[in-house]
Structure 1
Amino acid sequence: MLSSNATHLNPNSTIAQLETHQYQVDADTLGEVVSTEFKNHPDLPGVIVKEGEAVLGVISRRKFLEQMSQPYSIELYLRRPIRVLLEVMETDTLTLKEDSAINEAVKRALNRPLDLLYEPIIVQRKDQSLELLELHNLLLAQSKIFAQVNKIINQQKEEARQYAENLKQEQAKVREYTRQLEQEQLEAQRRNQVLEMQRAKLSRQANAISELNDRFVQLGELLSKEGKETFAQMLSSVEAISDSTARIINIGEGFKEELEVVNSATQLIERVSQQVRNLSIQVALAANRPGSGAQGQMSGLSRITTEIGNLGSKTSEATTEVNQIAYRFKGQIEDLTSAAAESEEVARSLVRRSQQTQQALDELERLLNEHREEDTAVDYVQDENTAEQEASNV
């Protein structure tokens, strides 16, 4: 009987998948029965000889035919039980379990003595049944496995070659990517250097701007303080000028009144002088009348008249001179009064401008305070932006 579970073989295949033979005979079976079986089944590798459930041994086709070729062997063994032939033959049967790997079975089979090298192998099934496996089938299965392994190896070699080719291409791509990455890194380093230089420059500019802002704030504060004090003093001075100008105007007004008094006095002097002249004329007329007093009186009267005339002339001259002086003094007083009025107007304009300047200084102080607050807010925003940039870089 033939048993075969042959399927696709692989390096992990077992002898259970190989073709086996189930020919078994009892030890009392005649030798000619076994000989006839061998003749009828040329592929039969041997026969298992049992006595009950015990296995006495295995007689291979090769050993059986060799023994039968000896003189008198046919008469001695064919008509006698097979156990007689088994007792004469020296056999050492190799028994393997069906889950033994094919490669392992080949190793154990080839490790047998040379005269037993081609003897069939007993395969023990899981149900404890016994079958014969021919070494030829075992070696053929191993060759198939080797062929498949070789095919797998060739496929793997081809795959490895293809993989190596792909790997070379990928390595070339990687080298190109690496070169591009190095260029990008160099470019990034250059940009970073430029950015660092720009950052350092901006930092210096920011420090300079900060210093200028500080100086500007200090100057603004100083200007505000000094300006307030200066304009306060200027306001005081302007007020003093205004008061002085008012006093000058008042003095000018007093001068005008005095000039009017002087003018009145000169008019009086002029009237007196006129009266004196009239009197001297009357005295002269009286003195020169015919039949008047003594000669001496006439002479004294004449001198008096002369003196009065001289006095009148001098008084008239003095009056004229006083009038001229008073006229000139009056013009000067008018000029002084006009200048004082203009000075008062200028002073009032200065007061108005001082007030506007004071308002401008107050506005400047307010702007300085706002500038401080904006600087504080900008510093805070810059700190926040710097922190966010550092977190992003990280």
Structure 2
Amino acid sequence: MKREVLNKPNQLISIISKDDITTTQRKAYNIFLKHAQHKVKFENYEGNTFKISHFDLHKSSNIKNKNIDYVYKEELKNLMSTTVEIVDKDNPNYWEAFTLLSYIRRDQNYYYYELNQAILSALKNQTFFTPLNLVMINSLSSQYSIIFYELAIRYKKYKIPKMSIEEVRSLTHTEDEYNRFYDFRRRVLDTACEEISEKTDIILSYKTEKKGRRIAFIDFEIEQKEEISVELEAKVEEKKEYSTDILELFKLLPKAEQVESNKRELDRLLKGHSLRYLKADIEYTKKSQPDNFMGFLKASCKNGHYSSAELEKKERKKELAKKREKAERKRKELEERIEKKARKKALEKYEKLSEEELEQYNQEYERVAKFVPETMRPPKKDYIIGALEDQFKEEIRELAIIVDD
């Protein structure tokens, strides 16, 4: 099994810097440390400036970007201005600070970089260090995943100390982001734990602890996987092809939930539940606005679908609407038949009217003519046929009602 191990000094694990450290910077810096550690420990190198080919750095840190040279130039330059401060909690009178890189240069196909003496001593002596599998770290795409994975490996044999929300935010540099805990949980904690659990040799989870009504602490739990395949260890971020049903469900999720790992969750859920119920459960979960959206959705599926009553109501409404639509369609069809039949009978009756009957209709027409202008009234023949048609309509309707009864 391929392993690229960096024995990283503990003071560089979970560092609290004044500036945010990006995913690219974390991966590249780990490669710098690994390369320097090999030189000082196994080649007895005495200097503090190191040389690494740009190809090895780009390949080893698994960064994919069309403008990779530009990205690296900006990211690596910024490592020189990233200040790290270490404070001894047991000794408030002691502290130290340093920059991650004191010098960086790109010349042709090589990078030249300089580390300060404190870091070099830690790399060489390895008094307090954490062995990190760089292949696994480089398969992680979220900077929060890298932070928590390094932290978890440091405390792998023990337990990660319970941390306050403020400490976790400081560690992840999210003091001014994701003000709602719901967003912080989804975009930072859940994203990291899910990716770490999927791609590395450990399963990372957490519990929250309240102080009063406020969530105040995060308690992480580490579980070692029994086996991990070469494919999983060397795995890089891959785009899996999903069915149209999965993509349709994914689009229904709130924007904050539209992360790649949730496509996999939906894929698993769809294997045991119908598309119709999953759609309804997603809508129900959105209305409920739980802290843990996907957790609530999975619980709904497991417990018989919280949306089932609502879905049944909708189904009943649809059924009633269909029945009303069918009844209206039948009514219109019947009315058309009645009008057609009444028209036919009226025309036949008009031809057979006696002189006496015709005179009665003429007199009625003359009475109407006194009140209705000529431009607004129909010709006499049309008026009489229309009157006959109305009579036949009523008769036919009454017969239709009797037949239905």
TM range (shorter): under 0.3
TM-score, structure 2 length as denominator?
0.23
Q: Looking at CA atoms only, which structure, 1 or 2, has the larger radius of gyration? A: 1
The structure with more helix, counted as a fraction of residues: 1
TM-score, structure 1 length as denominator?
0.24
The structure with more strand, counted as a fraction of residues: 2
